Amino acid sequence: MVVEIDRNAGFCWGVVRAIDFAEKELSSSKKLYSLGDVIHNSAEVSRLAQLGLSTVTVEDFSALPKGSKVLIRAHGEPPSTYQKALEFEIELIDATCPVVTKVQERIKKFVDKKYQIVIFGKKDHAEVVGLSGVTGNTAVVIINLEEALGKVDLSKPTVLFSQTTMDKDTFASIAKALKSKVKELIIGSIEDEAVDFHAKDTICGQVSGREKKLREFALSHDVVIFTAGKKSSNGKVLFNISKEENEKTFFVEASDELNFDWFRSAETIGITGATSTPQWVMESIKQAIENHFKK
């Protein structure tokens, strides 16, 4: 039996950057707060908690000691969070992913031009809360084509953006449908100027670029273990992609969720994960499988 970890899996560079921010601060300070879970992976959150990282919300700002340091995770935050931090004398350590920052900046430009802002994403996801906050929460947030056609005012000049971790194909289908119905539609880009829907969208290239490699990885193994936090939006998308290619793809958050009956007659086992999955979690799953079959 061969057990292989997907070399294309693991932290995206935005998450690596946020974790680096946290670890650097914790190396010189015993206390740091994170605005929401720093990453959608409970194992990594627990590891950082042991180093002194505590999770808080904006509502907790008033109870924190003045001068407390609070990390803004890669998902970003709405402008109101920065205002609250000033009000309660909180020091923010901004680890917003630069890709997300660029999307926020592009949205602000179109808000100033009085465009209707449409965001393809999950309305309660931290990143979307931040993006919508840039519009003063006037953005139309849609999750599928049906919502797009039902909620978007087709008579208004409109710009379409996406949460950076959403499915590229669904985004393209929404863009195409709106293009045929909205008189003036622009697809928001993270480049300097907006472009039409054939060009670059605001889905993270590192996320969308994994799809082809993940499909190849899933097909090349008898069984695939996909590991991610249950809260991970990116994890759900990538798991479904793997499942499409290999029905023997199983989702676990940690090694203690493994069912060794899954591996009956398997000669090759692949371990992969989301952009929020730590390398050490995948290593622990690999070790658990190998140790079981050495018995």
* Cβ count within 10 A of residue 270: 25
Residue 9 CA to its chain's centroid (Å): 14
DSSP assignment of 106-154 equals HHHHHHHTTPEEEEES-TTSHHHHHHHHHTTS--EEESSHHHHHHHS-T
Q: Which alpha helices (H) appear in the chain, and where do they start and end?
A: 13-26, 42-51, 79-87, 98-112, 126-134, 145-151, 168-179, 205-208, 210-219, 233-245, 279-294
Residues making up the chain, counted from first to last: 295
| 247 close to 257: Cβ distance less than 8 angstroms | no
Q: What angle do CA 60, 62, 65 make, to 5 degrees?
A: 95
Task: Give the strand pairing for 140-142 and 91-94.
Answer: unpaired
Q: Which of 25, 44, 77, 127 is catalytic?
A: 127
Confirm whether 147 is a catalytic residue: no
Residues tagged active-site: 127
